[in-house]
Amino acid sequence: MAARTPFPRDSEAKLQHILHHAANVFAELGYERASIRDLSRVTGVSLSGLYYYFRSKQNLLYLIQLKAFTDILQSLQNRLLGVSDPQERFRIFIHNHLEYFLSHPAEMKVLSHEEDALEKPYRSEIAAIKRRYYNLAREIFDDLLGERSGAGVNPRIAVLSLYGMMNWIYKWHNPKVDPDARQLSENIAAIFLYGVLNSPKSTRHSRESDLTLERVAIGK
Amino acid sequence: MAARTPFPRDSEAKLQHILHHAANVFAELGYERASIRDLSRVTGVSLSGLYYYFRSKQNLLYLIQLKAFTDILQSLQNRLLGVSDPQERFRIFIHNHLEYFLSHPAEMKVLSHEEDALEKPYRSEIAAIKRRYYNLAREIFDDLLGERSGAGVNPRIAVLSLYGMMNWIYKWHNPKVDPDARQLSENIAAIFLYGVLNSPKSTRHSRESDLTLERVAIGK
């Protein structure tokens, strides 16, 4: 892991505080426009205080991205422990991803918009952890298809389309009208696994039809 | 329609040329960082020459977004003329969207990243044309579900997930290894309509399995 000045362990909480506010500032103003001075104003930490936690604006952007992917990967690996059913593993993957991003909208925007703003050597390090995450998703997906893997689905397109469904959510999710991470992940899993034309017919609406979907989503 | 200085009709081609290069410059540098001077250098048109075609950088960003959505909507409406089969209409929608964006990657990035950079009054005008596009997609989707509309699918989540699958493509599509708009739209239509677990089993791989998928995708 590159490029963070070492600091005492009890500073960890303060670093997290800074990274969280920095994600907000970058999401709001864009990386290019945002300054460390803006971050200082928002966090109430002096400039020299901030530079104790990161070396440069580039280093800060790297730390935000590293933390996001590390957290997601770690919680996914924990949640997968001891779970062997391929559909269950697949649902855990979707729920884990959505839960993280719905509760970290600023990070989601920064990850999506500031990918190209990251320069060497940070860029390749982030690319590597993203590849690890993609590969894990791909394994989960391949297990899910199992013997069907010769069938008509192009796995690269399928997995990247699934990421598209999940990652586009920061563009439209409105907590006031849209479902939470649990229900959203069940909806997306159901569409992805069974498609919209294979959903069970039902004459009942709203709450009860959501239950129908839930049953599809959990495989009953 | 707001805010473009009128100019002779034969300037239309030059305006298109300018908008295309401006999209490239904004995609490359980001709206905030890009200057009209950059655009002048890239197009070879003088600053005063450029201001004949647009009033300001804001106006230019607006014209890029307006043109993209106008073109997409217009070509979709033309292609839908006389087509009544709901699945066929749905496939036309996906193909039209992907064809436009795969051939306009810079516009795609600008539309996705610079949404928030647009200010009043342009912002609400672009929001209105996007709503028209979403509503047309929603109609096509509702016709597709038909009597099933009481079933388990949340139509808002389904349609926005579909946009996610399509709009995320600029992040990963590599023309050297990935399929073109036609095949990609068939893949995405198949996943969305039938899901990955309902694809037909097949023991054959590669080319032949793509044919299998194509058959699913075109409803045979």
| CATH number of A53's domain | 1.10.357.10
Mean pLDDT calculated for residue range A180-201: 86
> What is the model's pLDDT at position B90?
96
Residue of A154, A191, A212 with shortest CB distance to B192: A191
Asked if the model's pLDDT at residue A139 lies above 70, the reply is yes
User: How confident is residue B97, by pLDDT bands cut at 50, 70 and 90?
Assistant: very high
B197/A194 Cβ within 8 A:
yes
Question: Which chain A residues have a beta carbon less than 8 Å from that of B166?
Answer: 164
B190/A152 Cβ within 8 A:
yes
Residue of B113, B161, B216 with shortest CB distance to A191: B161
Percent of chain B's residues with pLDDT above 70: 83
Q: Determine, yes or no, domain membership for B1.
A: no
Q: How far is B191 from chain A (nearest CA, A)?
A: 6
Whether the CB-CB separation of A191 and B142 falls below 8 Å is answered with no
Mean pLDDT calculated for residue range A139-147: 89
Q: Among A121-135, B73-87, B107-121, whose mean pLDDT is lowest?
A: B107-121
Whether the CB-CB separation of B122 and B2 falls below 8 Å is answered with yes
A157/B179 Cβ within 8 A:
yes
User: How confident is residue A95, by pLDDT bands cut at 50, 70 and 90?
Assistant: very high
How many whole angstroms separate alpha carbon B95 and alpha carbon B182?
A: 6
Say how many residues make up chain A: 220
Whether the CB-CB separation of B47 and B106 falls below 8 Å is answered with no
Task: Classify residue A147 by burial, with Cβ atoms within 10 Å: 0-12, 13-18, 19+.
Answer: exposed
Residue A153 CB neighbour total at 10 angstroms: 25
Q: Determine, yes or no, domain membership for B2.
A: no
Q: Determine, yes or no, domain membership for B21.
A: yes
- Taking each helix axis from N to C end, the angle separating A155-167 and A181-194, rounded to the nearest 10 degrees, works out to 150
> What is the model's pLDDT at position B12?
86
> What is the model's pLDDT at position A161?
95
Which residue of B138, B176, B196 to mutate against A (max A Cβ within 10 Å)?
A: B196
How many whole angstroms separate alpha carbon A30 and alpha carbon A46?
A: 21
Percent of chain A's residues with pLDDT above 90: 69
> What is the model's pLDDT at position A173?
92
> What is the model's pLDDT at position A142?
92
Asked if the model's pLDDT at residue B204 lies above 60, the reply is no
A160/B168 Cβ within 8 A:
yes
How many whole angstroms separate alpha carbon B28 and alpha carbon A117?
A: 10
The model's pTM? 0.82
Q: A2-27 burial string, b = 16+ CB within 10 Å, else e?
A: eeeeeeeeeeeeebeebbebbbbbbb
How many whole angstroms separate alpha carbon B32 and alpha carbon B10?
A: 31
Q: Determine, yes or no, domain membership for A1.
A: no
Asked if the model's pLDDT at residue A168 lies above 60, the reply is yes
How many whole angstroms separate alpha carbon B20 and alpha carbon B26?
A: 10
Mean pLDDT calculated for residue range A157-172: 93
How many whole angstroms separate alpha carbon A38 and alpha carbon B176?
A: 42
Mean pLDDT calculated for residue range B31-49: 93
Mean pLDDT calculated for residue range B5-29: 81
Residue B177 CB neighbour total at 10 angstroms: 7
Q: Which two tokens stand for residue A40?
A: 């200082």
Mean pLDDT calculated for residue range A114-137: 93
**Model confidence over B116-150: pLDDT tens digits?**
899 999 999 999 999 999 999 999 999 998 866 65
> What is the model's pLDDT at position A207?
39
Q: Which two tokens stand for residue A216?
A: 């599809």
> What is the model's pLDDT at position A153?
78
**Number of Cβ pairs closer than 8 Å across A and B?**
176
Task: Classify residue A178 by burial, with Cβ atoms within 10 Å: 0-12, 13-18, 19+.
Answer: middle
Residue with tokens 């579909």: B162
Q: How many domains does chain B divide into?
A: 1
Q: Determine, yes or no, domain membership for B4.
A: no
Q: How far is B66 from chain A (nearest CA, A)?
A: 19
Q: Which two tokens stand for residue B19?
A: 């908008």
> What is the model's pLDDT at position A116?
85
Asked if the model's pLDDT at residue A194 lies above 70, the reply is yes
Q: Which two tokens stand for residue B198?
A: 């309902």
Average pLDDT of chain A, as a whole number: 85
Asked if the model's pLDDT at residue A125 lies above 80, the reply is yes
Q: Which domain holds residue A205?
A: 9-217
How many whole angstroms separate alpha carbon B182 and alpha carbon B92?
A: 10
Question: Which chain A residues have a beta carbon less than 8 Å from that of B205?
Answer: 150
Whether the CB-CB separation of B163 and A168 falls below 8 Å is answered with yes
Q: How far is A19 from chain B (nearest CA, A)?
A: 22
Mean pLDDT calculated for residue range A210-218: 39
> What is the model's pLDDT at position B115?
85
Query: Does residue A7 or residue A61 have the better pLDDT?
Result: A61
Residue B175 CB neighbour total at 10 angstroms: 9
Question: Which chain B residues have a beta carbon less than 8 Å from that of A210?
Answer: 152, 154
Q: Determine, yes or no, domain membership for A2.
A: no
Mean pLDDT calculated for residue range A115-131: 92
Question: Which chain B residues have a beta carbon less than 8 Å from that of A147?
Answer: 201
B198/A195 Cβ within 8 A:
yes
Q: Among A29-33, A86-90, A164-168, whose mean pLDDT is lowest?
A: A29-33
Asked if the model's pLDDT at residue A208 lies above 80, the reply is no
Mean pLDDT calculated for residue range B166-191: 92
Q: Among A85-89, A90-94, A146-150, A163-167, whose mean pLDDT is lowest?
A: A146-150
How many whole angstroms separate alpha carbon B155 and alpha carbon B86?
A: 15
Q: How far is B186 from chain A (nearest CA, A)?
A: 11
Asked if the model's pLDDT at residue A215 lies above 60, the reply is no
Query: Does residue B24 or residue A215 have the better pLDDT?
Result: B24
Q: Determine, yes or no, domain membership for A4.
A: no
How many whole angstroms separate alpha carbon A60 and alpha carbon A67?
A: 11
Q: Determine, yes or no, domain membership for A3.
A: no
